[in-house]
Amino acid sequence: MRVIGTAGHVDHGKSTLVRALTGIDPDRLAEEKAREMTIDLGFAWLTLPDGQAIGIVDVPGHRDFIENMLAGVGGIDAVLLVIAADEGVMPQTREHLAILDLLNVPGGLVVLSKSDLVDDPDWLELVTRDIGETLAGTVLEGAEIVPVSARTGAGLPELLTRLSALLEQMPPRAEFGNPRLPIDRVFTISGFGTVVTGTLLGGWMRVGDEVEIQPGGQRGRIRGLQRHKQPVEAAEPGSRLAVNITGVEKKAVARGEVVSHPGLLQPSVLVDVRARYLKDAGRPLKHNAQVKFFSGAAESVAFVRLLDAEELLPGAEGWLQIRLENPLALAQGDRFILRYPSPPQTVGGGIVVNPHPGRRWKRFQPDVIAALATRLSGTPAERVAQAARLPEKRPALQKQLGYQTREFEAAVQDALAEGLLVELPGGELLARASWEQIKRRMRDELDAFHRAEPLRPGMSREELRSRLGLKGATLNALLTMQDEIVVEDDRLRLSGHEVRFSPAQTARIRALEEKMIAAPYTPPSFAEAAEMVGQDILYALIETGDIVQVQDDVIFSRAAYDAMVRATLEIIDAEGSVSAAGLRDRFNTTRKYAIGLLEFLDTAGITRRAGDMRVRGPRSR
């Protein structure tokens, strides 16, 4: 499906032309009929001579309603720029043309309307030359000019033939599988409920689909679809649709919101863009300037942050971060328009490069600018690597980029072959630059830990995970891909690190060992041992496993602990169970040590309490 927009000055006969072509009056409001001008968006449709059905969006031409015009031209495939033969190019025509150029509308035709009112060849030649000069350097440069008369019908068949030929040359609309319907109208129908209209982008919608409306997150289900007032079960990208949604109240929906499948869109108040500032803007664009931001059918007051310039001069391009006053649901590649609010003036526009930067960028950062440039114009492989700054599963990465499956997989394979991307054991993808950075951070974090805690054998896996801000499974996968970090149970250390005690510390440790050997089952308490060697050394011995701490104040040497565990299980196997008293008598110890050991073994799953007795636990084998 294709959607055509009409644009031009208010008095140049756009709506009259649409009525002549389609038999449908796009001016639906009483005020529009009374004032004989288009105020809001109008819609019509027709079938071209080649059998192709198209939708038509008739936008307001009066400068007072330019913001309504912006809500209608975002999803069009081509434009009919209507210029009256008896008046020629008007100031409002130039503003409409500038907007079409900023939105990068794929193509169009110039309709020279009211041609029946002019019989002076010199005047028509002058108007035609002026049109050509006006279109120069824009997306409509070289567009065919078709004289018509909506009153007499002259030129209308030729216009339709030219339009068919123009659309035939255009590539098909991209299908990403992620449907988006920017809402340009909301109303209710008795007995059916809420209906929204818009031009479908990205992917198919079907009756019965669950949908989500963003911003706001309202959920509903598609009860019915209509294309050109005919019910359909499914609609492809490019369709002008009316969507009947159940479960959503009309008052909860507004123009500018976007209907999509759940989870596909997230609203944002920060947006990275590449912008072009119009030559006739009149003054430089200043950092933190207030503007109005328009994209699709949405708008918001916004503030402009210049990332690579002190100010943007008329006719210049630059990297901007837009801070929106209201969150909007945007996607990478969306086009946008900037207008000054007072006095109202269209001053620029461009393309959304990153709808979710997630942070406010510092200005004049070369790495930030380079990353944005890659997002905008890099190869598919470079874009995949750029998007995989953090480990991502394939479906999430594909969704973020908006690529079709075949295109995405080709880009991934190219990125892997070029060394731009690495694949983790769990299947996640990560940019090689990010992987190298994470490796450096892992080394740096462990090195700093070893210097701060030289008597500890290593950092816990969870502590490193938290410091790096990674998921546990991701950290585990990354640890298998390097050989500089040693994994010992739940402890991580650099391969060159080991706990080393000074001669004085070693002497104190030996004194403690002798005392524990002399009374292995009634050893010194934690507090007594800490007093002998120092608490930091005692913790180091516990972490290395030379000493086992079973309760806050109860410790055993490793040899004594292992002997007591073996004996406990032997008693259970021989007698069916063991009591604290039995263990106390077996080792000629005290109840404090016996109970401390058994409670520790219960927690470890080696034993299990059964009344006052212990039996083997689930981890005893």
Give a yes or no: residue 385 inside a domain: no
Per-residue pLDDT of 111-149, as tens digits, reads 999 998 988 889 999 999 999 999 999 999 999 999 999
Domain of residue 610, CATH code? 1.10.10.10
* pLDDT, mean of residues 524-551: 91
Q: Taking the CB of residue 374, how many other CB atoms lie within 10 A of it? A: 16
Same domain, 516 and 548: yes
Distances (CA, A) of 218 to 181, 261, 268: 14, 11, 16
* pLDDT, mean of residues 18-32: 72
pLDDT computed for residue 32 by the predictor: 41
DSSP 8-class letter at 131? H
Give a yes or no: residue 481 inside a domain: no
Give a yes or no: residue 273 inside a domain: yes
pLDDT computed for residue 299 by the predictor: 94
Q: Considering Cα of 99, then 101, then 104, then 109, what sign does the dihedral take?
A: positive
76, 105 in Cβ contact below 8 A? yes
**621/618 Cα distance (integer angstroms):** 7
Give a yes or no: residue 384 inside a domain: no
Same domain, 226 and 356: no
* pLDDT, mean of residues 524-539: 91
- Written as six digits, the tokens of 371 are 């990353």
Same domain, 251 and 197: yes
Give a yes or no: residue 230 inside a domain: yes
Same domain, 241 and 277: no
Same domain, 94 and 27: yes
pLDDT computed for residue 159 by the predictor: 95
Per-residue pLDDT of 276-294, as tens digits, reads 999 999 899 999 999 999 9
Structurally, the chain folds into a number of domains equal to 4
**297/40 Cα distance (integer angstroms):** 12
- Going by pLDDT thresholds of 50, 70 and 90, the confidence category of residue 5 is confident
Domain C-terminal end among 260, 292, 308: 260
Closest C-alpha among 227, 251, 249, 247 to residue 237: 227
Same domain, 156 and 13: yes
Same domain, 144 and 216: no
Same domain, 212 and 290: no
Domain C-terminal end among 239, 260, 281: 260
- Going by pLDDT thresholds of 50, 70 and 90, the confidence category of residue 28 is low
> Where are the strands (E) in 278-403, listed by range?
285-286, 290-295, 298-306, 311-312, 317-328, 335-341, 344-354
In this predicted structure, the answer to whether residue 190 has a pLDDT above a threshold of 90 is no
pLDDT computed for residue 540 by the predictor: 87
Same domain, 51 and 148: yes
Per-residue pLDDT of 388-403, as tens digits, reads 888 889 988 887 776 7
Give a yes or no: residue 130 inside a domain: yes
Domain C-terminal end among 169, 197, 217: 169
Peptide bond into 357 cis (omega under 30): no
Segment (H or E) for 221:
strand 218-227
**363/318 Cα distance (integer angstroms):** 12
Cβ contacts of 573-581, under 8 Å, gap ≥ 24: 573/616, 576/615, 577/610, 577/613, 577/614, 577/615, 578/607, 578/613, 578/614, 579/612, 579/613, 579/614, 580/612
Domain of residue 149, CATH code? 3.40.50.300
Same domain, 150 and 77: yes
Q: Per mean pLDDT, which range of 8-12, 27-31, 195-199, 241-245 is the poorest? A: 27-31
Per-residue pLDDT of 49-88, as tens digits, reads 999 888 888 877 555 557 777 877 777 889 999 999 999 9
Same domain, 217 and 150: no
Per-residue pLDDT of 222-277, as tens digits, reads 999 999 889 999 999 988 999 999 999 999 999 999 999 998 888 999 999 999 99
Residue 456, φ and ψ in degrees, nearest 5: -100, 140
Domain of residue 204, CATH code? 2.40.30.10
- Written as six digits, the tokens of 561 are 């602990």
From the CA atom positions of the chain, what is the Rg in Å? 36
Q: Per mean pLDDT, which range of 58-67, 428-437, 458-467 is the poorest? A: 58-67
Question: What is the residue type of 20?
Answer: A
38, 109 in Cβ contact below 8 A? no
* pLDDT, mean of residues 527-546: 89
What is the extent of the structural domain holding 198? 180-260
Same domain, 285 and 348: yes
Give a yes or no: residue 418 inside a domain: no
Give a yes or no: residue 184 inside a domain: yes
